[in-house]
Amino acid sequence: MKEYPILCDKIECYKKERGCNPMKKDRLIVLTDAVLAIIMTILILELEKPTTPSLQAFWDLRQNFFAYFLSFFWLGSLWMALNTLWEKVEKISQQIVWWNLFLLFFVSFMPYATGIVSSHFMNHTAQLFYGLIVIVSTVANWFLHKVIDKPNIDQKELLEATAQYRKLLIPDLIIKGVGLILSLILYPPIMMYSVLIAAFYIITLKTLSEKRVNN
């Protein structure tokens, strides 16, 4: 019987307890970077143009610019987190690929959600939709950082980094969840403000953590 070494290697790979995927890590990184880059570029297309090129007209669009600013830098912080993550990863599994795809799927709604919330900034439903996209994307990101541990169980530095990041995402999700509830019963824009607060929270804690490590 003729044997096919490459096929056999892939089959043996799937039989391992920790699991792995014949896809190379670099291909997954390229896909992720490309999708996020496209999403961040499309955001600018959702910005409404002023009726006349005047300061007052631009000021009237301040909510649109805020939505664009928030979405762009939220996506940028996500890219930075993923970039840091992939540097330490050595093996990928089917679960990693799928959770990464789930994350990209939900994140791909950001230009659409940003466009809606820009046009209906004070609308409860618009803010609810935006908040759900951000929250579900954050949950997918949490699970991505969880499933990466199994095939890389021997990478101590990676395990510590993913555990620390998952801890940061818990209060991050709580802040966004509280913001979502308050936006429904009090003031709709609280949802977007909570995303901004959560982002500053994570950036501050990560900065303090890095300073402790360096010291």
What averages of pLDDT result for each successive group of 10 residues across the chain (215 residues)? 43 47 76 94 88 89 94 92 84 90 96 94 96 96 91 84 89 95 95 93 76 63
- Taking alpha carbons only, the member of 151, 196, 145 closest to residue 168 is 145
Q: What is the pTM of this model?
A: 0.84
**The pLDDT of residue 153:** 84
Instruction: List the domain boundaries for the chain.
Output: 5-214
Q: Judge residue 152's burial from the number of C-beta atoms within 10 Å of its C-beta, 0-12 exposed, 13-18 middle, 19 or more buried.
A: buried
**The pLDDT of residue 144:** 93
Buried b (16+ CB within 10 A) or exposed e, 1-40: eeeeeeeeeeeeeeeeeebbbeeeeeebbeebeebbeebb
Buried b (16+ CB within 10 A) or exposed e, 139-150: ebbbbbbbbbbe
